[in-house]
């Protein structure tokens, strides 16, 4: 049994490690090297795994799957390595690997706990790659728009999704992020102070939205755009006096998937 680690502890740990290095772009490979971890960037076929931390012969080995896009210094590779560093640095994870309690792959019997552990490692990676103090310096007195997320993602060499999630956690403007596959909402996350918490149709995306148009009109398959949308078209429990309340939505589509970032002026 692996005990859960408070997110506040994970944040403090990850950011302490990141700020030990002068580089504004957290040097994840250097951190691994300084800890004596053996890194292997190799092909392990697509659809298998992104990264894997193994404890063997009293040593930790980290495998990064380049067949899934986890090349050294790529956005995906950096996040995957940072995630695996989470398994190494978070005490409960490291001890679990050493004792054989935490295995590299999940199983049906421990899926709930495994998901929690993976979320902890994801959070560690986010805090390691985008430490709060540095991140907030970058956004100080800057008006929110999609270009700000783009610039931050480039600045920290992370994906748009990772950057948007971090902004929702610690940014200076409330946003909501909605991820959709085949017209079905798979997950959403919003800033604590975002004015709405529930989507209009829960899992089915509303038609009168940018992402709704993407999935309903084939000629929009390759369009990336920011458009004005209405609260009553996106959210549940919109009061009568807010029927004309407007937001902005930027949709990032890719084949049968799309990510929408929603915010208000």
Q: What is the largest CA-CA distance in the chain?
A: 66
d(CA 223, CA 92): 44
Q: Do 230 and 247 meet the contact criterion of CB atoms below 8 Å apart?
A: yes
Nearest to 36 by CA among 85, 79, 80: 85
Predicted TM-score (pTM) of the model is: 0.91
| Residue 115: per-residue pLDDT | 86
| Residue 98: per-residue pLDDT | 94
In the block, which residue shows the tokens 């907030």?
Answer: 136
pLDDT in tens, 145-154: 999 999 999 9
When pLDDT is averaged across residues 229-246 and rounded to a whole number, the result is 95
When pLDDT is averaged across residues 215-241 and rounded to a whole number, the result is 83
When pLDDT is averaged across residues 4-11 and rounded to a whole number, the result is 95
Domains and CATH numbers, the chain: 7-129 (1.10.10.2910), 146-263 (3.30.450.130)
- Say if residue 64's pLDDT is above 70: yes
Half-sphere exposure of 188 (CA within 13 A, CB side): 24
Mean pLDDT of the chain: 92
| Residue 107: per-residue pLDDT | 40
| Residue 255: per-residue pLDDT | 86
Q: Which percentage of the chain shows pLDDT scores above 70?
A: 93
| Position with higher pLDDT, 44 vs 217 | 44
pLDDT in tens, 83-135: 999 999 999 999 999 998 887 653 444 455 568 899 999 999 999 999 999 99
d(CA 75, CA 156): 9
Q: Do 231 and 242 meet the contact criterion of CB atoms below 8 Å apart?
A: yes
Q: How confident is the model at residue 219 (pLDDT cuts 50, 70, 90)?
A: low
- Say if residue 221's pLDDT is above 60: no
For the ranges 77-81, 105-109, 172-176, the lowest mean pLDDT is seen at 105-109
């Amino acid at each position: 049994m692996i005990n859960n680690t408070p997110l506040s502890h994970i944040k403090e740990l990850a950011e302490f490690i990141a700020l030990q290095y002068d580089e504004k772009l957290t040097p994840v490979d250097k951190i691994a090297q300084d800890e004596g971890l053996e890194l292997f960037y190799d092909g392990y076929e697509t659809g298998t795994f992104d990264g894997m931390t193994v404890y063997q012969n009293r040593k930790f080995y980290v495998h990064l799957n380049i067949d899934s896009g986890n090349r050294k210094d790529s956005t995906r590779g950096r996040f995957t390595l940072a995630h695996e560093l989470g398994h190494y640095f978070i005490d409960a994870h490291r001890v679990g690997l050493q004792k054989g309690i935490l295995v590299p792959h999940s199983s049906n019997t421990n899926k709930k706990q495994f998901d929690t552990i993976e979320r902890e490692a994801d959070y560690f990676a986010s805090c390691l790659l985008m430490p709060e103090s540095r991140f907030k310096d970058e956004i100080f007195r800057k008006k929110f728009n999609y270009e700000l997320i783009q610039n931050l993602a480039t600045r920290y060499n992370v994906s748009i999704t990772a950057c948007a999630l971090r902004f929702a956690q610690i940014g200076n403007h409330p946003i909501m992020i909605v991820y959709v596959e085949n017209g079905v909402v798979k997950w959403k996350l919003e800033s604590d102070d975002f004015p709405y918490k529930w989507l209009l149709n829960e899992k089915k995306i509303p038609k009168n939205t940018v992402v709704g148009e993407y999935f309903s009109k084939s000629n929009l398959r390759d369009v990336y755009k920011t458009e004005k949308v209405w609260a009553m078209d996106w959210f549940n429990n919109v009061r009568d006096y807010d029927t004309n309340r407007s937001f902005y939505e930027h949709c990032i589509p890719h084949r049968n998937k799309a990510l929408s970032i929603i915010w208000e002026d």
